[in-house]
A and B are shown apart, each in its own frame.
Chain A
Amino acid sequence: NAGVMQNPRHLVRRRGQEARLRCSPMKGHSHVYWYRQLPEEGLKFMVYLQKENIIDESGMPKERFSAEFPKEGPSILRIQQVVRGDSAAYFCASSPLSSGSLNEQFFGPGTRLTVL
């Protein structure tokens, strides 16, 4: 069973360009979380999605950021008109459908975004 896959692993963009980060959850997992890690910081929650639904986006910046998890295909975190402050590591985690107790989140290797 492959783990959580993220691509690309490294992404370089110039200011004003768009960044698209992809996350394929573990097989059988229907919940996806995106976290952002700024340099010297812990991970901060951005958005929580199930297939075709955004469950909690309380950590997403109000502008330029969006996320989706379509019925088919990976989850996408999209950042429009990137700025230098968007430079960070973006981690995706997945978990299975809840069975009543908290399910462990399995993390991908991350995408390291650098904005020039």
Chain B
Amino acid sequence: AQSVTQPDIHITVSEGASLELRCNYSYGATPYLFWYVQSPGQGLQLLLKYFSGDTLVQGIKGFEAEFKRSQSSFNLRKPSVHWSDAAEYFCAVGFSFSGNTPLVFGKGTRLSVIA
């Protein structure tokens, strides 16, 4: 069965430090890949997405992610974290090749930022 794994439940980083959030998926082909961010009590905002092409994708708020087919991974990175980045981050995957497909979400990684 298709699945998405975010190994880190909670990460704490210092403001200004770099960040990498991990995401792995289980699927026989290349899926569609997304990262969403959720602030407390809020909905989900799309940070970036990968469908095909260049495996390094740029998103909003200074985030980027790299698709690595050999590792079935789509890790999210940011070179310098800001206090406002504290939130819950979800990796999501679309496993169907039809135009519209439900997404499978990881359990999320909660990011805390300290001064």
- By a beta-carbon cutoff of 8 Å, the part of chain A in contact with chain B is 4, 31, 33, 35, 40-45, 48, 55-56, 59, 91, 95, 97-110, 112
Total number of B residues with any Cβ neighbor in A under 8 Å: 27
Given contacts A42-B90, A42-B108, A43-B90, contact A104 B103 (CB under 8 A): no
The SS class assigned to the A binding surface is loop
User: From residue B51, how far is it (CB to closest CB) to chain A in Å?
Assistant: 6
User: From residue A23, how far is it (CB to closest CB) to chain B in Å?
Assistant: 12
B99 with A42: CB separation less than 8 A: no
Complex contacts, B99 vs chain A, CB 8 Å: 97-103
User: From residue A65, how far is it (CB to closest CB) to chain B in Å?
Assistant: 16
Interface centre among A33, A102, A104, A109 (most CB of B within 10 A): A102
A42 with B107: CB separation less than 8 A: yes
